Structure 1
Amino acid sequence: MKKEHGLVPKPEHYACVVDLLSRAGLLSRARKFVEEMPIKPDPMVWRTLLSSCIVHKNIELGELAAKNLLDLEPEDSASYVLLSNMYATEMEQKDPTLYVHSEKLAVTFALLSLPDGIPIRVMKNLRVCSDCHNWIKFISRISNREIVVRDAYRFHHFENGNCSCKDFW
């Protein structure tokens, strides 16, 4: 980037590389990349790595990412939620309120209240859990409705049983 285009990489560029390596399942390469970065990894880099560890169920690397993330942002509640999600996914714990998550209730209410053809839009202040994500994909398919869920990190656009995040969030 620097050599060919004369651009100095910024922290968000490094986070993108970590994301790409992680999406490809190359977590050890992502870790090595983070360790060899010419700048100190920022919270976004560690958050990206931690999120990937949840997807790929790599607790050891996830704990390293979480430790660094919490050292940088000890008051950020989203970091603790990510760490909790990671532990809940290795232990295969089920949330006791699994069937009453707010986004499920909101989508159900919208299906009952809104006329056909109107997109359903839901705002959520935390990351959508995998159970709710899969449920909304299924609902978008059987109801033939467009459903948009905004969670703490991104918009999820569900249509015909698919999500714009391609099941990696």
Structure 2
Amino acid sequence: MLDVGMWRELERFLMGFKKRMLIAGYGMHGYGESAVKLFLSMRHSGPSPNDVTFVAVLSACAHAGMVNEGREVFECMKRDYGLVPRTEHFVCMVDMYGRAGMLEEAMQFIRDYISGEPGPVVWTAMVGACKMHKDFDLGVEVAERLLAVEPENPGHYVLLSNIYALKGKMDKVEKIRNVMIHRRLKKQTGYSSIEIDHVVHVFRMGDTLHPKSAEVYKLLEELVHKIKEAGYVPETDSVLHELEDEEREVALRFHSEKLAVAFGIMNTKDGTLIRIVKNLRMCSDCHLAIKFISIVTDREIIVRDKHRFHHFKEGNCSCQDYW
């Protein structure tokens, strides 16, 4: 049997675990201030934060644009708790600076804190920031370094290809595609799923495998017409530049999360909350479109993508367009 001391130790462990999970949850759902507040309460009244706690709160700061708070959290790791930062903490800091558009600060952080060649996760965060803030020159430089440290990951080739496409260098895009074909590397297929009446329905971009595809596409066309009237303008940069404007818009229209949302609206009562799961990061156009769909349908829509939860309601998203 456990003695009193062991019970107290177990209680402290469980309380720490609970608070770490809450901090991570706050961050993933867009409540960065709540995550930091809970972290500060741990510092004041315990249990003491460990290295996992710091990953959770730094990630929350990154997703909420809380740069000053993130800096202080990172500095207090070693100063107040004697913890040595790991790769996960470095990635959070690079991600935080990058999302905030502080790209030079992110690069300086890499130079100052990471000894040796940074790992692929660090460069991936940096490439994403460069793409987000349209610094294509730095993006190309970083993406090439990423390929050098992990040349067999097809996702890295896609990142570099997208940056070249946004910069209009289609010859470079074609070269990367040829390399991928030669190495037999395939891009990860995106898909979205929705559960209706305990049945999971899966959609991929432009596919017609679902038995109700015709109805889904018809409703989606109607939704796109309505949201355009409400002010939606497709963000065609989400699609490769080799397509004409009209073709890009059509390609965007049939992304998997839009199909899943249309299916959910079609098969649930008015006012029902819609929940979607996406295996990749949601593109900026789908994010914008679903904000407008939440207005014209008066629905709350939740999309869990690769990085976080997006709660869409009345034209707003819990991520505050910061994801």
How far did 1:108 drift? Answer: 1.2
Q: What TM-score do the two structures reach when normalised by structure 2? A: 0.48
Measured in 2, the distance between the counterparts of 1:75 and 1:155 equals 29
Unaligned runs of at least 5 residues, structure 2 = 1-76, 169-236
Equivalent in the alignment of 1:7: 83
- Give the letter aligned to residue 46 of structure 1: W
Equivalent position to 2:137, from 56, 60, 64: 60
Measured in 1, the distance between the counterparts of 2:280 and 2:109 equals 28
Measured in 2, the distance between the counterparts of 1:81 and 1:124 equals 18
Equivalent in the alignment of 1:31: 107
Equivalent in the alignment of 1:80: 157
How far did 1:54 drift? Answer: 1.0
Sort the Cα spacing of 1:167 and 1:107 in 2 relative to 1 into closer, same or farther, 3 A.
same
Equivalent in the alignment of 1:146: 300
- Give the letter aligned to residue 292 of structure 2: F
How many pairs are equivalent?
169
Equivalent position to 1:112, from 266, 285, 294: 266
1:44 to 2:121 alignment: yes
Is the helix fraction higher in 1 or 2?
A: 2
How far did 1:65 drift? Answer: 2.0
Contact 1:147 1:158 in 2 (8 A): yes
Equivalent in the alignment of 1:160: 314
Deviation larger for 11-20 or 141-150: 141-150
Measured in 2, the distance between the counterparts of 1:18 and 1:117 equals 40
Measured in 2, the distance between the counterparts of 1:150 and 1:72 equals 30
Unaligned runs of at least 5 residues, structure 1 = none
Measured in 1, the distance between the counterparts of 2:157 and 2:319 equals 22
Percent identical pairs in the alignment equals 50
Contact 1:146 1:158 in 2 (8 A): yes
Contact 1:123 1:150 in 2 (8 A): yes
1:137 to 2:291 alignment: yes
Equivalent in the alignment of 2:200: none
How far did 1:143 drift? Answer: 2.0
- Partner of 2:302, secondary structure, is strand
Equivalent in the alignment of 2:34: none
Q: Deviations over 1:125-159 (max 9, x none)?
A: 33221111110111123322221223333332222
- Partner of 1:148, secondary structure, is strand
Contact 1:55 1:168 in 2 (8 A): no
Instruction: Calculate the aligned-residue CA RMSD, in Å.
Output: 2.2
